Amino acid sequence: MSEIESVLVENRVFPPTAAQAAHARIQGMAGYEALCAEAAADLPAFWAKRARDLLVWHKPFTQTLDDSQAPFYRWFADGELNASANCLDRHLGTPVERRTAIVFESDDGQVSRVTYKELLARVSRFANALKAEGVQKGDRVILYMPMGVEGVVAMQACARIGATHSVVFGGFSAKALQERIQDVGAVLVITANYQMRGGKELPLKRIVDDALAMGGCDSVRRVLVYERTATAWDKVDGRDKGFAEALAGQSDQCAPTPVDAEHPLFVLYTSGSTGKPKGVQHATAGFLLMVRQTFEWTFDWAADDVFWCTADIGWITGHSYVAYAPLAAGATQVIFEGVPTYPDAGRFWQMIERHKVSIFYTAPTAIRSLIKAADSDATVHPRNWNLDSLRVLGSVGEPINPEAWMWFYREVGHERCPIVDTFWQTETGAHVITPLAGVTPLVPGSCTLPMPGVDVAIVDESGQDMPKGSGGMLVIRKPWPSMIRTIWGDPERFKKAYFPPELGGGVYLAGDGAVRDVKTGYFRITGRIDDVLNISGHRMGTMEIESALVAKTDLVAEAAVVGRPDDLTGEAICAFVVLKRPVKDAADGAAIAKTLRDWVAQEIGPIAKPKEIRFGDNLPKTRSGKIMRRLLRSLAKGDAITQDTSTLENPAILGQLDQKY
Ligand code: 6R9
């Protein structure tokens, strides 16, 4: 698509078609506005009504919102329920029990199906195995698993017995895993011998071994190993158990343990603006309520839909819209083990055809890479497959550029399917700004309007509302049920990071910039305003990468990391590094750069590897010694330096920082 066209379409509006509107459970924008008005009139009553309708309670709640210890808000606090019972047991004795819950497609294209009844039996059996290992209500369990049914079963089994799960994405390194195990104080780790990705067998268990060997993980009593492949793995006697051994003889009946509404369902680590990842803690009832409600409103889900969210369970999207929301709703969903480009870049389209997917939810970075692949190889263009089953498309993780939006809309959705560009975060638990399929008129590149019941606004540094058309900081002014409850073990950091006193102490700061359209009031997210980068939809703190680099003490004296725009990955990581010895020549520079990339992969994971590394005798600093990051961002972008460099202590440095490795 030409530049000019992309600029033009940005102002185009795509209202729902008559067929889309007729399908939707919310009747037009009037219906949407009525919901917003209902929430504005009495926010607790709005959510209490839905919590009664959508959740199954062991003991009904009588209080809705407790804000007496704000910003530590509590929702439905005196109620009791179980998340797994809300996803599985509730369907027993209804037609849903025979429905396929999960269609699993493995990396090599094998398909298996699990009904709701079978899933309940598997989760119950696994829950009994966890109990037999001594796991108790309130204990923390780490998952380091491939994408697949077993991961979801393990998460649900933890929820069933009231254990708090913490899933670590399978691409994180041993060091990153060890830090999370230690921080959350896990009693048990669930992993697999290997994971299959793109035809390759990648070790997982070995990385768990390395993590535990680093020390500080004395809380871990047991490692359970899913034998995903036939390849042997090293067993540590007395500590490790294969799934077969752990599950042998366990009953497939296990009564769900009732927990308080505020009981921590999970802790999921995410990057913040300091070097240490934050353990985002979510509560059982509020989380479950909002993921289920948004699943139905945003995607306009109906019982005959086949839902496919391509996110891994290691990220929040895989928690909310794979492991919980579809099951709570009784949906049929596809779970895919592999990668979008194996055996070729037609894999997603082939799978949509094969499984008759009707709601397809993926990330802009995947779309962009598939556009590129289709442009250079016509045989992987989506037109080669029958995509008529599609009804709704979704996007998540980063802003979707209008070019990618239009391609997705035309080439995949055939101009029949709304695209819901869902803005939300690990901390929000569920969609907070998004179009509702069949309801909201769409504008490419805009996440449009707030979810009913979420009070989103754009403010300046002092908390004043920004007029439409002026950019500012995205905030949420009132609590919402699926909000982060605290940072695991660090309530002070929670308060400081999300509820700054300048904004009154009770207003949630999202960390993103945003602007509203003057005419429509639609939101557009302009990107993070803190030191968090978004690489292919994955959050990475610049400080985290800097800490990893300077930990290479034999080579690195100092490092600064910034992001720059990238056509494919959204943002790319650029590192500016001061070495302890001079770079001899280009070959030496390239060798050091490789060493540093490998090092970062080992410290954090391959996703944190800098795309570009530049070396200098020093970093550009002010006379007071502050690194001038804005200047580094301009350098990384390749922009002319327009900033005032008169405060720079060492202007000669700029010349050195040209050479990229
Ligand atoms: C769900 C998820 C959160 C950050 C968020 C923002 C970016 C997510 C977006 C989006 C623009 C969207 N982000 N969705 N930006 N449009 N539709 O991705 O959670 O991993 O915590 O990342 O991602 O910057 O602050 P998480």
CA of 407 to the centre of ligand 1 (A): 21
Ligand 1 centroid from CA 425, angstroms: 5
pLDDT of residue 295: 98
CA 366 to CA 526: how far, in whole Å?
20
E runs forming strands in 194-233: 194-197, 200-203, 222-226
Q: Is the pLDDT of residue 6 over 60?
A: no
Distance (angstroms) between ligand 1 centre and the Cα of 487 equals 19
Tell me which of 295, 321, 396, 508 to substitute to probe ligand 1's pocket, judged by most ligand atoms within 8 Å of the beta carbon: 396
pLDDT at 640 (0 to 100):
81
- Ligand 1 binding pocket includes 394 (Cβ within 6 Å): no
Name which residue sits closest to atom 7 of ligand 1, judged by CA. 398
Structure tokens at 292: 């289920």
User: What values do phi and psi take at 269, rounded to 5?
Assistant: -80, 140
State how far the alpha carbon of 304 is from the alpha carbons of 65, 102, 437, 479, 539, in Å: 35, 14, 16, 34, 34
Mean pLDDT computed over 193-206: 97
Q: What is the pLDDT of residues 458-510, one digit of tens each?
A: 999 999 999 999 999 999 999 999 999 999 999 999 999 999 999 988 899 99
Atom number in ligand 1 closest to CA 447: 17
Interface ipTM? 1.00
Provide the β-strand partners of residue 332: 306
Sheet (strand 472-476) strand order = 456-459, 472-476, 508-516, 523-528
Mean pLDDT value across the chain: 95
| 421 Cβ inside 6 Å of ligand 1 | yes
- 8 pLDDT exceeds 70? no
Query: Concatenated DSSP letters for 64-115?
Result: -EE-TTTTS-EESTT-EE-HHHHHTGGGTTSGGGGSEEEEEE-TTS-EEEEE
pLDDT of the residue at 275: 75
Q: Are 537 and 312 in contact (CB under 8 A)?
A: no
Cis peptide bond prior to 71, omega within 30° of 0: yes
- Measured in angstroms, how far is the CA atom of residue 128 from the centroid of ligand 1? 36
SS3 581: coil
Q: Which of 271, 291, 423, 475 to mutate to test the pocket of ligand 1 (most atoms within 8 A of CB)?
A: 423
Can you tell me the distance from the alpha carbon of 15 to that of 36, in angstroms, rounded to the nearest whole number?
20
CB of 399 within 6 A of ligand 1: the answer is yes
Residue 108: the pLDDT is 98
Most informative mutation of 525, 536, 571 for ligand 1 (most atoms within 8 A of CB):
525
Q: How far is the CA of 193 from the centre of ligand 1 (A)?
A: 31
Measured CA distances, 420 to 39, 150, 270, 435, 437 (Å): 22, 29, 24, 5, 6
d(CA 148, CA 197): 12
The domains found in the chain, sorted by start residue, are 536-657 (3.30.300.30)
pLDDT for residue 1: 37
The closest residue, in CA terms, to atom 12 on ligand 1 is 423
Spatial CB neighbours of 160, under 8 Å, sequence gap ≥ 6: 82, 83, 84, 85, 123, 124, 127, 254, 256, 257
Q: What is the pLDDT of residue 470?
A: 92
Q: Could you give the residue ranges of the DSSP H alpha helices within 334-383?
A: 347-355, 364-376
Give buried/exposed letters for 439-462 (b at 16+ CB in 10 A, else e): bbebbbbbbbbbbbbbbbbbbeee
Q: How far apart are CA 243 and CA 225, in angstroms?
A: 6
Q: Coil, helix or strand for 513?
A: strand
User: Which tens digits make up the pLDDT trace of 147-195?
Assistant: 999 999 999 999 999 999 999 999 999 999 999 999 999 999 999 999 9
CA 94 to ligand 1 centroid distance, Å: 36
pLDDT, residue 207, reads 97
Average pLDDT score over residue span 377-405: 96
* β-strand partners of 562: 574
* 50 half-sphere exposure, CB direction, 13 A CA radius: 25
**Residue identifier of the C-alpha nearest atom 3 of ligand 1:** 425
* Confidence band, pLDDT 50/70/90 cuts, at residue 2: very low
> Across residues 19-45, what is the average pLDDT?
98
Confidence class for position 5, pLDDT limits 50, 70, 90: very low
Least confident of 83-87, 248-252, 300-304, 535-539: 535-539
Nearest-10 Cα torsion for 644, 650, 655, 658: -90
Cα 527 to middle of ligand 1, angstroms? 9
Atom of ligand 1 nearest to the CA of 433: 17
Strands in 259-385 per DSSP E: 259-260, 264-270, 278-283, 306-309, 332-336, 359-362
What is the distance in A from the centroid of ligand 1 to the CA of 510?
Answer: 10
User: 633 CA to middle of ligand 1, Å?
Assistant: 21
pLDDT tens column, 82-139 = 999 999 999 999 999 999 999 999 999 999 999 999 999 999 999 999 999 999 999 9
What's the whole-number mean pLDDT along residues 254-270? 98
Q: Looking at residue 4, what is its pLDDT?
A: 40
Rounded-to-integer distance, Cα 563 and Cα 557, Å:
21
428 lines ligand 1 (CB under 6 A): no
Dig out the tokens for 398 from the structure.
């980063």
Measured CA to CA, the distance from residue 359 to residue 645 in angstroms comes to 51
Ligand 1: residue whose CA is nearest its atom 15: 398
Instruction: Quickly list H helices, 214-257.
Output: 243-247
Q: pLDDT at residue 248 above 70? A: yes
Give the Å distance between the CA of 571 and the centre of ligand 1. Answer: 13
Burial class (CB in 10 A: 0-12, 13-18, 19+), 108: exposed
Q: Which residue has the higher pLDDT, 74 or 644?
A: 74
What pLDDT, on the 0 to 100 scale, is given for residue 10?
A: 58
E strands along 168-239, which residues? 188-192, 194-197, 200-203, 222-226
Determine the 3-state secondary structure of 640 from DSSP.
Answer: coil
For residue 405, what are its two tokens? 């939006």
**CA pair distance 3, 226, nearest whole angstrom:** 49
For residue 391, the CA-to-ligand 1 centroid distance in Å is 23
Average pLDDT of the segment spanning 213-218: 96
Task: To the nearest 10°, report the CA torsion of 618, 621, 625, 628.
Answer: -130
Ligand 1 center from residue 93 Cα (angstroms): 38
Cβ(531) – ligand 1 distance below 6 Å: no
Q: Tens digit of pLDDT for each residue in 594-632?
A: 999 999 999 999 999 999 999 999 998 887 778 888 889
Q: Print the SS3 string covering 421-468.
A: EEECCCCCCCCCECCCCCCCCECCCCCECECCCCCEEEECCCCCECCC
3-state secondary structure 477-493: CCCCCCCCCEECCCHHH
Determine if ligand 1 sits within 6 Å of the CB of residue 398. yes
Question: How many whole angstroms separate alpha carbon 449 and alpha carbon 32?
Answer: 10
Contact in structure between 580 and 635 (CB atoms under 8 Å): no
Contacts of 293 (CB under 8 A, 6+ apart): 50, 54, 430
Nearest residue to 153 (alpha-carbon basis) of 57, 56, 54, 247: 247
Tell whether ligand 1 has an atom less than 6 A from the beta carbon of residue 434. no
At 390, list the tokens. Answer: 């599609």
pLDDT confidence bin for 238, thresholds 50/70/90: very high
pLDDT of residue 274: 76
**Unique residue bearing structure tokens 């949906």:** 331
Instruction: Decide if pLDDT at 21 tops 60.
Output: yes
Q: Which residue CA neighbors atom 6 of ligand 1 most closely?
A: 398
**Atom 1 of ligand 1 has which residue's CA nearest to it?**
425
Ligand 1 lined by 426 (C-beta under 6 Å)? yes
Which residue type does 417 have? C
What pLDDT is attached to residue 368?
93
